[in-house]
């Protein structure tokens, strides 16, 4: 059984120009001990999906569908029921960890705060645990007493990861944890997360806009486009052969380094722009940009179907 | 204490004496030492000012935090009440209220305290409005923290400096108001304040007969104390206020 099962999840933001369906009928299972990558371009709803799992969406946002965790539906829970799940069972590494720290508190106190909220430990115990966690992330014992502005971006990102595992959660949702870092820091953060996943038996939902980053550490990859899931498969399977034209476009827009000499690489991009989520195109949402578009694509909405064993695609023609 | 005279007792042989080595500030119309009076008067003036400032801070900070954090209809209502308090001309209102419930020091403190909160609540609310949207607040919420935890551990410490600066400014206003009230004869008859000394100097015609030592020292003390609180408050505001405005006075 999956650790977290998302069924037909739809998240609507109310705006002045009508409702925006940032996530539209997504079904997805997150297994135990796996790193699931969630990829898509900016504004495709991947962060909204990640935040909707814990109902951490702005007031007035409508969520429908189910998020099943241990047989219970998180969508139907109220705040006090959710507060027992948040961070203790499912934690979150926020997008932009640089500003996710309170500038007035020491680094270790903020990590300890998460422990104090969920566990009946004393302040000094929590601080000792926090220091230990931060040390595990390679933050030296002097820096744990520092204020956030005294730490570098990479250190803050690592401190944020330490915070996310402070209460031994089962699932960590990492919302673009490497986005604002340089490649060396990215590599470090990725290997930290990979180690943690193995050591603690975590499940990680890794949200990113980069297929290559996700391909590095994820066992399965889900691709989102304009609020909908378009492809879901094992990482190897998706890199070997992707079926959805959007995923193919994402692949083709990345340079390949290990190529044989006589192989010629055509670097291409996906033409057009992502559609507006308040007035999405009819039929398949990708059809205005799709090189293989046919009549059926303009009329009928797509559904996820299993095209190979464990490889799901939402495309009429694949 | 500092002077060997009782501020309440005088001798009729020493009426309205100008400053001398025995009486550095001179004496009043019934022969009481004015230095002793000025020193005693500082107690009432500062007590009223600081207590009223603290009451204002308590109400203003709570209203500002609640209105800013929860917003909605309730927050809007609280802000309209604050606006109403801001537009009422305060002096006539205080005069009427004190006349109705009696000129006692605790009454004065209460009234000045209740009239001083709207300014603080507005500043605090606007800060809270921007603070609660910050990512670290969202992060603490995703810990599963309650609203009260977020307010007490994150929002309140962040607005504390601004509350302090504005409390000091309200204190300055309260000291001035207390002096005004005492000068107008609405001071507590049991407690001597700088305003009360001015009141008696006015009644005894000190200005007409040129007894400058009777009204200058308490007047200067009021002015310097109010200025002191205002300068400190404004400076703190300039340091703490994130808008970066530099106001000196």
Query: What's the half-sphere exposure (Cβ side, CA atoms, 13 Å) at A263?
Result: 8
* pLDDT reported for residue A257: 65
**Chain A partners within 8 Å of B139 (Cβ):** 92, 94, 100-101
Which residue in this structure is represented by tokens 């079926």?
A: A243
Mean per-residue pLDDT, B128-153: 90
Q: From CA A187, how far away is CA A183, in angstroms rounded?
A: 6
Confidence band, pLDDT 50/70/90 cuts, at residue B2: low
Domain map (residue ranges) of chain A: 4-100+169-313
**For residue A266, pLDDT beyond 80:** no
- Best to test chain B binding among A60, A80, A102 (most B CBs inside 10 Å): A102
**For residue B62, pLDDT beyond 60:** yes
* pLDDT reported for residue A42: 86
What does the pLDDT look like over B196-241, one tens digit per residue? 999 999 998 888 888 889 999 999 999 999 999 999 998 888 887 6
Residue B122 touches partner A, C-beta closer than 8 Å: no
Q: Do B153 and A54 touch (CB under 8 A)?
A: no
**Which of B222, B197, B225 has its CA nearest to residue B211?**
B197
Q: Do A56 and B141 touch (CB under 8 A)?
A: yes
Q: From CA A228, how far away is CA B40, in angstroms rounded?
A: 77
* pLDDT reported for residue A31: 94
Q: What is the pTM of this model?
A: 0.82
Q: From CA A289, how far away is CA A229, in angstroms rounded?
A: 16
**Chain B partners within 8 Å of A102 (Cβ):** 136, 140, 154, 158
Q: Which domains does chain B have, with CATH numbers?
A: 34-240 (1.10.3720.10)
**For residue A180, pLDDT beyond 80:** no
Which of the residue ranges A280-289, B13-22, B181-190 would you say has the lowest mean pLDDT? B13-22
Residue in chain B nearest A165 by alpha carbon: B143
Note the residue count of chain A. 318
Mean pLDDT across chain B: 89
Mean per-residue pLDDT, A241-257: 85
R_g (Cα) of chain B, nearest Å: 22
Note the residue count of chain B. 249
Query: What's the half-sphere exposure (Cβ side, CA atoms, 13 Å) at B209?
Result: 15
Confidence band, pLDDT 50/70/90 cuts, at residue B249: very low
What would the CATH number be for the domain defined by A4-100+169-313? Answer: 3.40.50.300
Q: From CA B12, how far away is CA B148, in angstroms rounded?
A: 63
- B165: how many CB neighbours lie within 10 A of its CB? 21
Which of the residue ranges A119-128, B43-52, B237-246 would you say has the lowest mean pLDDT? B237-246
Mean per-residue pLDDT, B91-108: 91
Mean per-residue pLDDT, B1-6: 69
**Chain B partners within 8 Å of A103 (Cβ):** 136
**Chain B partners within 8 Å of A91 (Cβ):** 142
What does the pLDDT look like over A144-169, one tens digit per residue? 999 998 998 888 999 999 999 999 99
Q: From CA A282, how far away is CA A266, in angstroms rounded?
A: 31
Question: Token pair of B36, please?
Answer: 């002793």
Q: From CA A38, how far away is CA A208, in angstroms rounded?
A: 6
Q: Do B143 and A94 touch (CB under 8 A)?
A: no
């Amino acid at each position: 059984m999956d650790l977290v099962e998302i069924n037909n999840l739809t998240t609507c933001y109310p705006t002045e120009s009508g409702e925006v369906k940032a996530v539209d009928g997504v079904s997805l299972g997150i297994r135990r001990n796996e790193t699931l990558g969630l990829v898509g371009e900016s504004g495709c709803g991947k962060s909204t999906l990640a935040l909707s799992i814990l109902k951490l969406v702005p007031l007035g946002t409508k969520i429908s569908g189910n998020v099943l965790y241990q047989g219970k539906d998180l969508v139907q829970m109220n705040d006090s029921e959710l507060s027992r799940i948040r961070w203790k069972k499912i934690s979150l590494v926020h997008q932009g960890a640089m500003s996710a720290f309170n500038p007035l508190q020491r680094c270790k106190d903020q990590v300890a705060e998460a422990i104090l909220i969920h566990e009946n430990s004393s302040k000094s115990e929590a601080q000792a645990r926090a220091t230990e966690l931060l040390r595990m992330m390679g933050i030296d014992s002097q820096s744990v007493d520092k204020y956030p502005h005294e730490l570098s971006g990479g250190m803050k990102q690592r401190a944020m990861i330490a915070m996310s595992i402070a209460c031994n959660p089962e699932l960590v949702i990492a919302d673009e944890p490497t986005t604002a870092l340089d490649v060396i820091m990215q590599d470090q953060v990725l290997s930290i997360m990979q180690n943690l996943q193995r050591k603690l038996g975590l499940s990680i939902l890794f949200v990113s806009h980069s297929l290559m980053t996700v391909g590095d550490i994820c066992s399965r990859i889900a691709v989102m486009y304009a609020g909908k899931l378009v492809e879901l498969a094992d990482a190897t399977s998706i890199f070997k052969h992707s079926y959805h034209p959007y995923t193919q476009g994402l692949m083709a827009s990345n340079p390949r380094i290990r190529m044989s000499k006589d192989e010629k690489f055509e670097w291409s991009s996906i033409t057009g722009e992502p559609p507006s989520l308040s007035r999405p195109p009819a039929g398949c949402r990708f059809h205005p940009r799709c090189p293989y578009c046919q009549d059926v694509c303009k009329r009928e909405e797509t559904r996820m179907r299993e095209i190979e064993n464990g490889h799901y695609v939402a495309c009429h023609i694949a | 204490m500092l002077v060997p005279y009782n501020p309440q007792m005088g001798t009729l042989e020493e009426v309205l004496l100008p400053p001398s080595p025995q009486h550095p500030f001179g004496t009043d119309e019934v022969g009481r030492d004015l230095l002793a009076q000025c020193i005693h008067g500082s107690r009432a003036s500062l007590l009223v000012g600081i207590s009223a400032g603290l009451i204002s801070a308590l109400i203003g900070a709570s209203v500002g935090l609640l209105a800013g954090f929860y917003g909605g209809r309730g927050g809007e209502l609280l802000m309209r009440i604050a606006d109403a308090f801001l537009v009422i001309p305060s002096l006539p209102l205080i005069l009427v209220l004190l006349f109705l419930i009696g000129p006692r020091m605790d009454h004065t403190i209460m009234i000045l305290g209740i009239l001083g909160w709207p300014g603080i609540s507005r500043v605090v609310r606007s800060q809270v409005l921007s603070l609660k949207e910050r990512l670290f607040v969202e992060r603490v919420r995703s810990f599963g923290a309650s609203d009260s935890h977020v307010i007490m551990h994150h929002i309140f410490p962040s607005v504390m400096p601004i509350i302090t600066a504005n409390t000091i400014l309200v204190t300055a206003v309260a000291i001035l108001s207390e002096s005004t009230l005492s000068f107008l004869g609405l001071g507590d008859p049991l407690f001597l304040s700088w305003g009360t000394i001015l009141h008696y100097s006015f009644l005894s015609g000190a200005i007409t007969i040129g007894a400058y030592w009777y009204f200058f020292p308490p007047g200067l003390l009021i002015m310097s104390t109010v200025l002191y609180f205002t300068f400190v408050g404004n400076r703190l505001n300039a340091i703490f206020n994130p808008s970066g405005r530099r106001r000196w006075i």
